[in-house]
Amino acid sequence: MTPTWRTARQWLFWFSVLAVLAALMLQVRSQLDKAHVALAFLLVVLGGSAVAGRALGISLSLTAFLVFNWAFLPPYYTFTISNPLDWLVLIAFLITGVVAAQLLEWRRQRAEAEEEAEALRRRDRLKDALLASVSHDLRTPLTAIKGIANEIWNGGDPGRAQVIEEEADRLNALVDDLLELSQINAGGMRISRALNTVDDVVGAALERVEAAHGAGRIDVRIDNDGTILTGEFDFTHTMRALTNLLENAVKYSPADSPVVLRVWREEVLLYFAIEDRGPGVSPDEEERIFQPFYRGTSSGIRTRGTGLGLSIARQLVELQHGTLKYERRADGGSRFTMSLPAGENL
């Protein structure tokens, strides 16, 4: 049965119910009070609204309003009213019917929205479970691949062994990202906030980035006024977020253009700004770049990656009650600004 035919049958059924009810009440009209008629018609309006929605409910209300006036208020079988107070009864009935139909429609829409939200939550849980399962299953073959690469290297073919090992490392990084993302989405990421120094977390992030991309690519500028800047943050997760941001900047920046890391304090917040001279991001992608697996397309530049780094960085920062925002630099390039709670300077 098509939806249109089903709707037509529902409308026909409820208008038939209204007609039959009116005919039955006409037989005992002299024994009925106006309140009896109003309540009986209102039950039909509520039933139709609950089953078929607001449009039918309002239509039933208007029809019942006319039937009420024509058949149950003197002078009968006319649309004139002899007692002005009867207008109050009619108007009250019509308003009640229309409002009831509207409220039922809102409730039905809310119930559908809740069902859809629950379905999305179930799909997200399934996706997270699948990511975690696949990521764990990839660990074993990756370990075997790296072992074989070492054997090839020792056997005198370092070129092929290096390619295998690099690709295995890349897959390992992907597995780590997938596991981290699934853990965050599942609410299983533990945050241990403590007093840490900016110098330590910046140094740890620089060590990881320079090991992969070489030294000299990042210009660090810490505005500390002779003090040691500190913050209340999780050291490991902050270092991971900062590393992701620096690696992203290095990948998209020209080789002869350094990435600038600025750190400063404003009142109760620490700010880490990563600035590059890359192609930047178009205005319609400024929020999309933080979505998992999304990679910007406006620049025309294709670099190797999974599109998880920025998403993981933002979520790790927000778990610590911080923020991560993007802005396009006026003179070209990108700026990612991360804020975290500051501590007492030393």
Q: Taking Cα atoms as reference points, which of 205, 275, 263 lies closest to residue 229?
A: 263
- Give me the pLDDT at residue 317, please: 93
Confidence of residue 130 (pLDDT cuts 50, 70, 90): low
Which residue, 12, 97, 6, 90, is CA-closest to 54?
Answer: 97
Residues 1-18 pLDDT 10s: 566 788 888 888 988 888
What's the whole-number mean pLDDT along residues 176-188? Answer: 71
Can you give the pLDDT at residue 221?
Answer: 93
Query: What crossing angle do the helices spanning 158-185 and 309-318 adopt, rounded to 10°?
Result: 40
Q: What is the mean pLDDT of residues 251-259?
A: 84
- Residue 301: band (very low, low, confident or very high) from pLDDT cuts 50, 70, 90: low
How far CA 114 is from CA of 109, 117, 174, 267, in Å, comes to: 9, 5, 34, 41
Mean pLDDT of 233-243: 92
In angstroms, the CA 283 to CA 298 distance is 10
Residue 74 has pLDDT above 90, yes or no: no
How many Cα neighbours within 13 Å face the side chain of 95?
6
Two tokens at 203?
Answer: 């140094």
